[in-house]
Amino acid sequence: MTAPAAALQKALFQALDADGSLSAALGGAKLFDHVPENIVPENIPFPYVTFGRTSVYDGVTGRENDAEQLFTLHFWSKAEAKKEMLDVMDMVSARLQDAALALDEHHRVNLRLEFTEVRYDEDLSACHGLLRFRAVMEENA
Protein backbone atom coordinates (compact mmCIF):
# COMPACT_ATOMS: atom_id res chain seq x y z
CA MET A 1 0.00 0.00 0.00
CA THR A 2 1.25 3.45 -0.87
CA ALA A 3 1.28 5.98 1.96
CA PRO A 4 -1.22 8.79 1.33
CA ALA A 5 1.52 11.47 1.44
CA ALA A 6 3.67 9.65 -1.12
CA ALA A 7 0.69 9.00 -3.38
CA LEU A 8 -0.35 12.65 -3.24
CA GLN A 9 3.13 13.99 -4.00
CA LYS A 10 3.49 11.60 -6.95
CA ALA A 11 0.10 12.68 -8.31
CA LEU A 12 0.94 16.36 -7.86
CA PHE A 13 4.22 15.91 -9.76
CA GLN A 14 2.37 14.19 -12.60
CA ALA A 15 -0.33 16.86 -12.79
CA LEU A 16 2.14 19.75 -12.75
CA ASP A 17 4.68 18.13 -15.10
CA ALA A 18 1.90 17.54 -17.63
CA ASP A 19 1.05 21.26 -17.72
CA GLY A 20 2.82 22.65 -20.79
CA SER A 21 2.03 26.26 -19.91
CA LEU A 22 3.64 25.82 -16.49
CA SER A 23 6.78 24.28 -18.05
CA ALA A 24 6.93 27.19 -20.49
CA ALA A 25 6.60 29.72 -17.66
CA LEU A 26 9.39 27.99 -15.72
CA GLY A 27 11.61 27.65 -18.81
CA GLY A 28 11.49 23.86 -18.66
CA ALA A 29 10.68 21.04 -16.26
CA LYS A 30 11.85 22.70 -13.06
CA LEU A 31 9.70 21.11 -10.38
CA PHE A 32 11.89 19.45 -7.75
CA ASP A 33 11.18 17.31 -4.70
CA HIS A 34 14.04 19.30 -3.17
CA VAL A 35 17.03 21.17 -4.55
CA PRO A 36 19.38 18.43 -5.84
CA GLU A 37 22.34 17.95 -3.46
CA ASN A 38 24.92 18.22 -6.24
CA ILE A 39 23.60 21.63 -7.26
CA VAL A 40 24.10 24.80 -5.28
CA PRO A 41 20.68 26.54 -5.12
CA GLU A 42 22.18 29.70 -6.57
CA ASN A 43 23.19 27.72 -9.71
CA ILE A 44 19.72 26.39 -10.57
CA PRO A 45 18.23 28.48 -13.36
CA PHE A 46 15.39 30.52 -11.96
CA PRO A 47 12.42 30.33 -11.71
CA TYR A 48 11.79 26.90 -10.20
CA VAL A 49 9.46 25.13 -7.75
CA THR A 50 10.28 22.80 -4.85
CA PHE A 51 8.17 20.70 -2.53
CA GLY A 52 8.35 21.72 1.09
CA ARG A 53 6.91 20.44 4.32
CA THR A 54 4.14 17.85 4.32
CA SER A 55 2.15 17.19 7.49
CA VAL A 56 -0.25 14.24 7.64
CA TYR A 57 -3.11 13.92 10.12
CA ASP A 58 -4.90 10.58 10.45
CA GLY A 59 -8.48 9.97 11.37
CA VAL A 60 -10.11 12.88 9.57
CA THR A 61 -13.00 10.78 8.34
CA GLY A 62 -12.82 8.10 11.03
CA ARG A 63 -11.53 5.46 8.64
CA GLU A 64 -8.14 3.87 9.31
CA ASN A 65 -6.28 4.80 6.10
CA ASP A 66 -7.81 8.20 5.42
CA ALA A 67 -5.68 11.29 5.83
CA GLU A 68 -5.70 15.06 5.93
CA GLN A 69 -2.50 16.60 4.64
CA LEU A 70 -1.03 20.05 4.62
CA PHE A 71 1.64 20.46 1.97
CA THR A 72 3.69 23.42 0.83
CA LEU A 73 5.11 24.32 -2.56
CA HIS A 74 8.02 26.80 -2.67
CA PHE A 75 8.52 29.12 -5.63
CA TRP A 76 11.86 30.79 -6.40
CA SER A 77 12.49 33.66 -8.80
CA LYS A 78 15.32 36.10 -9.49
CA ALA A 79 13.03 38.53 -11.30
CA GLU A 80 13.07 41.90 -9.59
CA ALA A 81 9.31 42.27 -9.83
CA LYS A 82 7.07 39.74 -8.10
CA LYS A 83 4.83 39.40 -11.16
CA GLU A 84 6.71 36.38 -12.59
CA MET A 85 6.35 34.51 -9.33
CA LEU A 86 2.74 35.49 -8.75
CA ASP A 87 1.82 34.41 -12.29
CA VAL A 88 3.44 30.98 -11.81
CA MET A 89 1.83 30.59 -8.39
CA ASP A 90 -1.59 31.40 -9.89
CA MET A 91 -1.01 28.84 -12.66
CA VAL A 92 -0.15 26.11 -10.14
CA SER A 93 -3.08 26.95 -7.87
CA ALA A 94 -5.52 26.91 -10.80
CA ARG A 95 -4.04 23.65 -12.17
CA LEU A 96 -4.38 21.85 -8.84
CA GLN A 97 -7.86 23.19 -8.07
CA ASP A 98 -9.62 20.89 -10.54
CA ALA A 99 -6.89 18.36 -11.29
CA ALA A 100 -7.87 14.72 -11.59
CA LEU A 101 -5.13 13.22 -9.45
CA ALA A 102 -4.06 9.58 -9.88
CA LEU A 103 -3.79 8.49 -6.24
CA ASP A 104 -3.38 4.69 -6.42
CA GLU A 105 -5.32 3.29 -3.44
CA HIS A 106 -6.85 6.64 -2.48
CA HIS A 107 -9.09 9.31 -3.96
CA ARG A 108 -9.20 13.01 -3.35
CA VAL A 109 -12.07 14.26 -1.26
CA ASN A 110 -10.99 17.87 -1.05
CA LEU A 111 -8.01 20.00 -2.10
CA ARG A 112 -7.94 23.70 -1.35
CA LEU A 113 -5.46 26.52 -1.07
CA GLU A 114 -4.99 27.57 2.56
CA PHE A 115 -2.18 30.12 2.49
CA THR A 116 -0.15 32.23 0.06
CA GLU A 117 2.97 34.27 0.80
CA VAL A 118 5.55 36.08 -1.33
CA ARG A 119 8.66 37.64 0.18
CA TYR A 120 12.20 38.58 -0.71
CA ASP A 121 14.90 36.15 0.54
CA GLU A 122 17.98 38.21 1.40
CA ASP A 123 20.28 35.15 1.58
CA LEU A 124 19.57 34.10 -2.02
CA SER A 125 18.76 37.55 -3.39
CA ALA A 126 15.58 35.99 -4.75
CA CYS A 127 11.84 36.19 -4.36
CA HIS A 128 10.43 33.26 -2.41
CA GLY A 129 6.76 32.31 -2.66
CA LEU A 130 4.75 29.75 -0.72
CA LEU A 131 1.49 28.00 -1.49
CA ARG A 132 0.14 25.84 1.31
CA PHE A 133 -2.67 23.44 0.47
CA ARG A 134 -4.96 21.22 2.52
CA ALA A 135 -5.86 17.87 1.01
CA VAL A 136 -8.25 15.26 2.36
CA MET A 137 -7.95 11.77 0.93
CA GLU A 138 -9.90 8.60 1.50
CA GLU A 139 -8.82 5.06 0.86
CA ASN A 140 -10.68 3.44 -2.04
CA ALA A 141 -13.27 0.91 -0.94
Q: pLDDT tens digits for 80-128?
A: 778 888 999 999 999 998 777 878 777 767 889 999 999 988 887 888 9
What pLDDT band is residue 65 in, cutting at 50, 70 and 90?
Answer: low
Pick the more confident residue, 50 or 63: 50
Residue 97 has a pLDDT of 85
Question: What pTM value is reported for the model?
Answer: 0.85
DSSP states of the chain as a string? ---HHHHHHHHHHHHHHT-HHHHHHHTS--EESS--TTS-GGGSPSSEEEEEEEEEEE-SSSSTT-EEEEEEEEEEE--SSSHHHHHHHHHHHHHHHS-----TTEEEEEEEEEEEEEEEETTTTEEEEEEEEEEEEEE--
Residue 1 has a pLDDT of 46
Is residue 22 within 8 Å of 91, Cβ to Cβ? Answer: yes
Give me the chain's average pLDDT, please.
82
